[in-house]
């Protein structure tokens, strides 16, 4: 091979390698991307049963019920709608009623959300920004004061 | 009074930093030696002023001066003294001051140790460091002044974030910042090379120890951060692919590429413009990391500030610094022609491939970290990219890197013979394969393919690193002469590669053989996990200096014998009313047993009923951090290699070249 051919071969190999890496990367990316929803989004039917997603909202006061072992049920609300959530495991330190949380999991056929992971963030007046944004209305303020409203929200049936 | 002095010192430091930028720049332009000489004294004055300001803030914390808003927000009369000192960098404003103080430290070091360099190079480098300093000082004074007063003065402070009240937190941020900021030195030298148009092996030789030092601090910082997360976050994980972790990992990857390409530039005079580009990128990613962490655009433990003005400022600063650097690069880099030819199958060729892999890895982390932010900014919805993405992309990129680590030390510069390499690496290959099969079978009785593959990579790096030392020692007659005869640089490289192998082994074993269980236990009840019997002996109330806790007791038995009694805690910090999980870990080099209290499950207030507990059995967990420690040690040895203390001859040679230009 001449020097020129060698160089072309090296560049071709590099291009093939890079496109392979890019293809792998984007596949992994597509598979592992999770969208964020609020209870209202889910009840409006914008997601499939069983699809993995993140759900954010406020834990309705008085709704946390412990079951056998580590199972726990609670209701997650935004200002308009609410949704029952089921979880097996240890809740984070900052999980409290009236607190904004983000749960990762999927919708079940029975209309409940099954959480694999529950995240709460670190300050009790703090809402995950995604939750705060989702609850915002046009004038930039919260549609309702985050904690009080939750007490009044009625479970949408 | 003291806080005002600190504030005043910062303002003065800004003024001096401006002098440090403009006077030497003028000197370089007009070739005026008097103006060039200003760089050193301005840099030193600026550094001392910043140190003084840092001392003032520390003083305010130690004496609990709650009239300073930042102290009131992050300290408390009950806070133990050691955490009062570390609370200085416990939140946004103070950690910026730490950033600037560390930059001052690096600048001071450059101004002291680089007296022998040509005056224009030193002056340009110091002016670049001064520019960075101006940016951060302005940022601090305009948007986040740590010395702001608070009226009326509160009687007590709000207390430091409980997550940060941990020994790991005492040293993790300064070490990580030493790394982040340290890359600014490599960046400054890169800009100096572009401005002067001179980039030869002497340049590489004096840039290398600085870069290696920054890299070793960064490695140390990341390792400590991982260790801290493991103990404090209560999830038992050591790496979460959290955006903030990624923010430190990206410059680390590019920095690792940089220390390798610097080796090629020094030894062979090749890859010059690539090296300069990496230096710019490494520092750019450090700045990006600072932006991500400090602007509050991402949600995490580290995101203290959510003030948009701050984010905009750092983003603007980032744009200016990187924009100017890339413009300069585009204009001047074509001048940095490499000397000589490069063949792919040679040490420099393999190092180039290593660089490509590291940079692609860094780019894939960048994609996963920034894409959700971009989608959000464009209002296309809210998404998150989970750890599975990073794991899926990272593994195929990292495996070939570890394979190459084993080959690279044996492959000579310029041109290699395949038959010779095969002959050299036959034994390590056999040993690594055998160990990868035997060790997991011996310890755990079963060996999945993933473990054999990962174990092979780990043992391969370990065995080849040891072989490199052995090969060099064999020539000497006695063992001590052999050990001393190996140059520090080689020791450093081998130790760091050895550490990579140890790390890979740890990761493989932890991810394959860990057993994790969340359980509900009432006092006196036991449960079996992986041959270990855990007996929950209940919790007792306990009063700490600034918290109250439920102090649990768990007895662990193995084959009928008590192995350990551990005390996981659930703390409630009084001032902030925050709950914290303090996990208890019993560890040996071969395994960790991790116990964390979940939550009380019974309704009574004394918490003496059932508890949720998190029980983990993690084999070889320590190796993950031990690997990091080896890399740090390797970096330390490599950075202090005797070659870097410039010899007279090299200097004279460089001076001659400079005169010609």
Domain ranges of chain A: 1-32, 36-152
Q: Report pLDDT digits (tens) over B591-605.
A: 999 999 888 887 666
Judge contact between B226 and B621, C-beta under 8 A: no
Query: What pLDDT, on the 0 to 100 scale, is given for residue A25?
Result: 80
Distance (Å, rounded) from C-alpha B516 to C-alpha B618? 8
Distance (Å, rounded) from C-alpha B338 to C-alpha B266? 11
Q: Is B655 left (phi over 0), alpha (psi -120 to 50) or beta?
A: alpha
β-pair partners for A53: A105
Interface predicted TM-score of the whole assembly (ipTM), two decimals = 0.72
Distance (Å, rounded) from C-alpha B539 to C-alpha B551? 5
Interface of B with A (CB under 8 A): 161, 163, 234, 299, 301, 306, 344, 356, 360, 364, 367-368, 371, 381-386, 388-389, 392-393, 396-397, 518-520, 570, 577-581, 598-599, 601, 612, 614
Q: The pTM is what?
A: 0.89
Tell the residue number behind the tokens 């040293």, with chain if given. B171
Lowest average pLDDT, out of B25-39, B289-303, B473-487, goes to B289-303
Q: Report how many Cβ contacts below 8 Å link chain A to chain B.
A: 87
The percentage of chain B sitting over the pLDDT mark of 90, rounded to a whole number, equals: 53
Using the beta-carbon criterion (under 8 Å), do B368 and A29 form an inter-chain contact? Answer: yes
Is residue A122 annotated as involved in ligand binding? yes
Query: What pLDDT, on the 0 to 100 scale, is given for residue B605?
Result: 67
Using the beta-carbon criterion (under 8 Å), do A70 and B612 form an inter-chain contact? Answer: yes
Judge contact between B385 and A29, C-beta under 8 A: yes
Query: What pLDDT, on the 0 to 100 scale, is given for residue B308?
Result: 65
Q: Report pLDDT digits (tens) over B457-514.
A: 999 999 999 998 888 887 777 777 777 788 888 999 999 999 999 999 999 999 999 9
Ranges in chain B annotated CATH 1.20.120: 166-338+349-359
Query: What pLDDT, on the 0 to 100 scale, is given for residue B533?
Result: 92
Is residue A37 annotated as involved in ligand binding? no
Query: Which two tokens mark B126?
Result: 């110091």
Residue of A nearest to B602 (CA): A66
Task: Assign A1 a pLDDT band (cuts: 50, 70, 90).
Answer: low
Q: Measured on CA atoms in the order B498, B503, B504, B505, is the torsion positive or negative?
A: positive
Supply the DSSP symbol for B105.
Answer: H
Lowest average pLDDT, out of B228-237, B250-259, B425-434, goes to B228-237
Task: Assign B252 a pLDDT band (cuts: 50, 70, 90).
Answer: very high
Query: What pLDDT, on the 0 to 100 scale, is given for residue A126?
Result: 47
Lowest average pLDDT, out of B100-104, B139-143, B167-171, B261-265, goes to B167-171
Task: Assign A150 a pLDDT band (cuts: 50, 70, 90).
Answer: very low
Residue B251 clears pLDDT 90, i.e. is over it: yes
Task: Assign A84 a pLDDT band (cuts: 50, 70, 90).
Answer: very high
Q: Report pLDDT digits (tens) over A14-70.
A: 788 788 878 888 888 877 777 878 888 788 776 677 788 888 888 888 888 888 888
- Calculate mean pLDDT across residues B397-412: 88
Q: Measuring CA to CA, which residue among B637, B627, B346, B294 is closest to residue B461? A: B627
Residue B132 clears pLDDT 80, i.e. is over it: yes
Q: Report pLDDT digits (tens) over B135-144.
A: 999 999 998 8
**Residue B578: φ, ψ to 5°:** -105, 140
Lowest average pLDDT, out of A3-17, A72-86, B447-461, B615-629, goes to A3-17
The distance of B70 to chain A (nearest Cα, Å) reads 18
Overall fold of domain A36-152: OB fold (Dihydrolipoamide Acetyltransferase, E2P) (2.40.50)
Which of A13, A93, A95, A123 to mutate against chain B (most B CBs within 10 Å)? A93
Query: Which two tokens mark B322?
Result: 């990187």
The distance of A7 to chain B (nearest Cα, Å) reads 10
Residue B542, classed as helix, strand or coil, is strand
Name the more confident of B262 and B159: B262
Lowest average pLDDT, out of B51-65, B379-393, B423-437, goes to B379-393
Query: What pLDDT, on the 0 to 100 scale, is given for residue B653?
Result: 57
Q: How large is the C-alpha radius of gyration of chain A?
A: 22
Interface of A with B (CB under 8 A): 10, 14, 18, 21, 24-25, 28-29, 31-36, 54, 66, 69-70, 89-91, 93-94, 121-124, 128-130, 133-134
Q: Measuring CA to CA, which residue among B541, B552, B547 is closest to residue B611? A: B552
Using the beta-carbon criterion (under 8 Å), do B598 and A91 form an inter-chain contact? Answer: yes
Q: What is the 3-state secondary structure (H, E, C) of B410-458?
A: CCCCCCCCHHHHHHHHHHHHHHHHHHHHHHHHHHHCCCCHHHHHHHHHH
Using the beta-carbon criterion (under 8 Å), do B344 and A10 form an inter-chain contact? Answer: yes
Q: Report pLDDT digits (tens) over B628-637.
A: 999 999 999 9
Lowest average pLDDT, out of B105-114, B258-267, B575-584, goes to B575-584
Query: What pLDDT, on the 0 to 100 scale, is given for residue B111?
Result: 92
Residue B51 clears pLDDT 90, i.e. is over it: yes
The distance of B225 to chain A (nearest Cα, Å) reads 18
Distance (Å, rounded) from C-alpha A156 to C-alpha A151? 14
Distance (Å, rounded) from C-alpha B61 to C-alpha B54? 11
Q: Report pLDDT digits (tens) over A99-143.
A: 778 888 988 888 889 998 888 754 444 455 555 555 554 444 444
List the CATH code of the domain at B166-338+349-359: 1.20.120
Q: Is A144 left (phi over 0), alpha (psi -120 to 50) or beta?
A: beta
Supply the DSSP symbol for A140.
Answer: S
Judge contact between B230 and B236, C-beta under 8 A: yes
Residue B453 clears pLDDT 90, i.e. is over it: yes
Which of B355, B373, B599 to mutate against chain A (most A CBs within 10 Å)? B599
Using the beta-carbon criterion (under 8 Å), do A122 and B397 form an inter-chain contact? Answer: no
Distance (Å, rounded) from C-alpha B301 to C-alpha A81? 30
Query: What pLDDT, on the 0 to 100 scale, is given for residue B454?
Result: 94
Q: How many CB atoms lie within 10 A of CB B422?
A: 11
Of the partner residues B364, B388, B612, the one whose CB lies closest to the CB of residue A32: B388
CA distances from B512 to B148, B387, B454, B456, B518 (A): 51, 16, 10, 14, 18
Burial of A88 (0-12, 13-18, 19+ CB in 10 A): middle
């Amino acid at each position: 091979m001449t020097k020129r051919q060698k160089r072309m071969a090296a560049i071709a190999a590099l291009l093939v390698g890079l496109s392979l890496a890019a293809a792998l990367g984007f596949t992994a990316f597509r598979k592992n991307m999770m969208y964020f929803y609020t209870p209202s989004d889910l009840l409006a039917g914008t997601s499939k049963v069983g699809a993995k997603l993140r759900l954010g909202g406020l834990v309705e006061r008085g709704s946390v019920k412990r079951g056998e072992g580590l199972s726990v049920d609670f209701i997650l609300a935004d200002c308009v709608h609410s949704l029952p959530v089921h979880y097996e495991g240890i809740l984070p330190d900052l999980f409290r009623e009236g607190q904004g949380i983000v749960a990762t999991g999927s919708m079940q056929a029975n209309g409940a959300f099954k959480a694999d992971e529950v995240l709460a963030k670190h300050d009790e007046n703090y809402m995950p920004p995604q939750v705060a944004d989702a609850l915002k209305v046009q004038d930039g303020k919260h549609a309702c004061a985050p904690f009080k409203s939750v007490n009044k929200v009625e479970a949408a049936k | 009074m003291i806080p005002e002095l600190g504030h005043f010192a910062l303002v003065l430091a800004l003024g001096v930093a401006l002098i440090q930028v403009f006077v030497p720049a003028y000197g370089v332009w007009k070739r005026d030696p008097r103006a060039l000489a200003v760089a050193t004294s301005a840099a030193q004055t600026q550094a001392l002023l910043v140190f003084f300001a840092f001392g003032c803030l520390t003083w305010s914390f130690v004496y609990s001066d709650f009239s300073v808003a930042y102290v009131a927000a992050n300290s408390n009369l009950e806070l133990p003294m050691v955490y009062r000192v570390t609370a200085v960098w416990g939140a946004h404003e103070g950690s910026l001051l730490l950033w600037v103080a560390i930059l001052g430290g690096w600048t001071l070091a450059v101004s002291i140790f680089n007296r022998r360099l040509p005056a224009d190079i030193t002056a340009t480098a110091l002016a670049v460091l001064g520019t960075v300093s101006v940016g951060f000082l302005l940022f601090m004074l305009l948007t986040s002044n740590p010395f702001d007063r608070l009226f009326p003065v509160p009687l007590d402070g709000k207390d430091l974030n409980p997550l940060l009240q941990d020994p790991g937190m005492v040293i993790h941020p300064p070490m990580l910042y030493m790394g982040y900021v340290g890359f600014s030195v490599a960046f400054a030298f890169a800009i100096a090379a572009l401005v002067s148009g001179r980039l030869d092996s002497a340049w590489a030789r004096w840039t290398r120890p600085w870069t290696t030092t920054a890299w070793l601090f960064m490695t140390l910082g990341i390792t400590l951060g991982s260790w801290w997360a493991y103990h404090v976050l209560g999830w038992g994980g050591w790496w979460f692919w959290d955006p903030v972790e990624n923010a430190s990992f990206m410059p680390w990857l590019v920095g690792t590429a940089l220390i390798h390409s610097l080796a090629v530039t020094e030894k062979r005079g090749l890859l010059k413009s690539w090296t300069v580009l990496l230096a710019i990128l490494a520092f750019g990613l450090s700045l990006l990391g600072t932006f991500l962490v400090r602007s509050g655009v991402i949600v995490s433990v580290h995101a203290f500030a959510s003030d948009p003005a701050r984010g905009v400022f750092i983003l603007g600063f980032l744009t200016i610094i990187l924009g100017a650097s890339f413009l300069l690069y585009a204009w001047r880099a074509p001048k940095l022609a490499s000397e000589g030819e490069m063949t792919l199958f040679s040490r420099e060729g393999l190092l180039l491939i290593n660089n490509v892999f590291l940079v692609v890895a860094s780019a894939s982390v960048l994609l996963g970290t920034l894409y959700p932010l971009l989608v959000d900014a464009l209002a296309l919805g809210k998404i998150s990219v989970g750890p599975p993405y990073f794991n899926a992309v990272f593994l195929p990129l990292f495996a070939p890197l570890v394979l190459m680590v084993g080959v690279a030390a044996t492959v000579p510069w310029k041109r290699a013979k395949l038959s010779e390499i095969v002959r050299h690496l036959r034994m390590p290959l056999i040993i690594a394969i055998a160990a990868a099969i035997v060790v997991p079978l011996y310890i755990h009785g079963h060996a999945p393919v993933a473990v054999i593959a990962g174990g092979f990579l780990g043992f391969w790096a370990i065995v080849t690193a040891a072989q490199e030392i052995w090969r060099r020692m064999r020539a000497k007659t006695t063992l001590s002469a052999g050990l001393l005869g190996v140059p520090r640089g080689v020791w450093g490289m081998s130790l760091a590669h050895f550490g990579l192998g140890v790390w890979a082994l740890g990761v493989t074993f932890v991810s394959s053989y860990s057993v994790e269980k969340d359980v509900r236990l009432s006092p006196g009840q036991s449960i079996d996990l992986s041959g270990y019997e855990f007996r929950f002996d209940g919790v007792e109330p306990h009063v700490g200096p600034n918290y109250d806790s439920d102090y649990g007791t768990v007895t662990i038995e193995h084959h009928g014998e008590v192995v350990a009694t551990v005390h996981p805690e659930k703390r409630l910090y009084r001032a902030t009313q925050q709950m914290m999980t303090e996990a208890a870990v019993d560890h040996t080099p071969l395994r960790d047993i991790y116990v964390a209290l979940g939550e009380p499950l019974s309704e009574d207030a004394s918490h003496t009923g059932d508890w949720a507990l998190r029980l983990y059995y993690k084999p070889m967990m320590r190796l993950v951090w031990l690997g990091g420690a080896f890399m740090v040690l390797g970096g330390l040895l490599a950075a202090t290699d005797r070659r870097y203390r410039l010899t007279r001859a090299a200097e004279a040679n460089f001076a001659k070249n400079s005169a010609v230009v």
